[in-house]
Amino acid sequence: MATIATTKNATGALILLLGAAVFLNYVDRGAIGIAAPVMKGDLGLSDEAYGVVFSAFFWIYAPVQLFAGWLCDRFSVYRLMAGGIVLWAASTLLMGFAGGFASLLVLRVMLGIGESISFPGSSKIIARHVPPERRGVANAAVAAGIALGPAVGTLAGGLILAKWGWPAIFFVFGAVTLLWVLPWRQVVGTLPTTGHHDEGPRVPLGELLTKWPLWSMSIVHALGNYCFYFLLAWLPLFLTKSRGFSIGEMTMLATLGYAVQGACALGYGHFSDWWTRSGRSEAACRRWMMVVSQLVAAGAILGLAFAHTALSIAILLCLAGAASAALSLNLYAVAQMFAGPRASGTWVGVQNAIGNLSGIIGPIVTGIVVQRAGYNSAFILTAIVAAIGAIWWAVCVPRIEQVNLKD
């Protein structure tokens, strides 16, 4: 009994640290968006140049996912997670010294390399250590990190920006991220080592690439990410430049939406685990949760194009946050269901690589649209993408069950 309790405690601590890693991931990758209202002018960046700098993170982050996922299925995923965090923390900290477009570009690329391990690594660890009836809560910790990272990052970053200027945002965020490595080493040392070699032989990447479920999930991942990254990159500028809110007001509004996202992610995780324990279909729960959430996201984003008051914008951001919570929970839970423990690292690496192509394309497209046609057109385009995502989940994602993989 003591051994079982110890294992549960270690697994619980592991899930918390994975959630914290993703939380820090989104704090650091979103720091540039918080700094943008002041940094953009100080460094002389146009809308198009800012869009390029923001997207530079994804130039390397997306393709390196393929390699990161492959590494997670073949080497120590625990050491890979620690090494990735050290690299991205250093990159974040150094952005405080950036003097212009070129240095920001290089550091965003370095940040992308470091953060590329997060989701393949987290999915590999969850698939290895967490049973199906706890999969919702485990992925909810990751989903909450995705939401609370921007929430806390926006709140803390906005306050830092107002008091000490934009370089201090990067100094503080990078230093805090480095501290994560200390408890990680301690928790990993308490994990059970048995069972890792019972997952079966590694699955070749070429075989996974022949599976339609992987491609269908990758495409719907890209459609969902387009909407999430649109708000992450452009919401602070939209609220301050187009709607005339102060930095303090912008901080409160953006933080509210992300806070709702984090709370909903935890709620959805508990709900989906309750649903699964009751004997009902986990697959059906996750599919239709996504159809509804993508429709809600489309409506909320479309509404923001025409909203001007703080109250209407706050309500719409809360709806967008509730929708994004389902996205970040189910994309990885469904991937783990399709892949199983022995292929989850490589599967999520491929899915995240393709899914994050929208992080490369989206900010650049939005920068061009905003500069030439205004914010309203950019919001309308993003709402259309969200609606396509709802249709894709309903029609194009095949039956959700573990795919047949060769031994």
What six digits make up the tokens of 225?
A: 């990410």
Question: Looking at the domain assignment, is residue 44 inside a domain?
Answer: yes
Report for 206-215, 246-255, 339-348: range of highest mean pLDDT: 206-215
DSSP 196: G
Question: Looking at the domain assignment, is residue 406 inside a domain?
Answer: no
Question: Looking at the domain assignment, is residue 193 inside a domain?
Answer: no
Task: Tell me the C-alpha to C-alpha distance, in Å, between residue 310 and each of 254, 261, 297.
Answer: 11, 18, 19
Question: Looking at the domain assignment, is residue 196 inside a domain?
Answer: no
Per-residue pLDDT at 8? 66
Per-residue pLDDT at 2? 38
User: What pTM was computed for the model?
Assistant: 0.75
Quick: pLDDT tens for 241-266. 888 888 788 878 888 888 888 888 88
What CATH number did the domain enclosing 294 receive? 1.20.1250.20
Confidence at 201, pLDDT banded by 50, 70, 90: low
The total domain count for the chain is: 1
Question: Looking at the domain assignment, is residue 192 inside a domain?
Answer: no
Q: Considering all CA atoms of the chain, what is the largest pairwise distance in Å, rounded to the nearest integer?
A: 65
Indicate the helix (H) or strand (E) that contains 347. Answer: helix 344-355
DSSP code string of 95-143:
GGG--SHHHHHHHHHHHHHHHTTHHHHHHHHHHHH--GGGHHHHHHHHH
Question: Looking at the domain assignment, is residue 404 inside a domain?
Answer: no
Amino acid at 115: E
| Full residue range of the structural domain in which residue 249 is found | 2-187+202-395
Q: Across residues 335-359, what is the average pLDDT?
A: 84
d(CA 221, CA 282): 19
Confidence at 192, pLDDT banded by 50, 70, 90: low
Question: Looking at the domain assignment, is residue 50 inside a domain?
Answer: yes
Confidence at 65, pLDDT banded by 50, 70, 90: confident
Question: Looking at the domain assignment, is residue 332 inside a domain?
Answer: yes
Q: Is the pLDDT of residue 195 over 50?
A: no
Residue-level length of the chain: 407
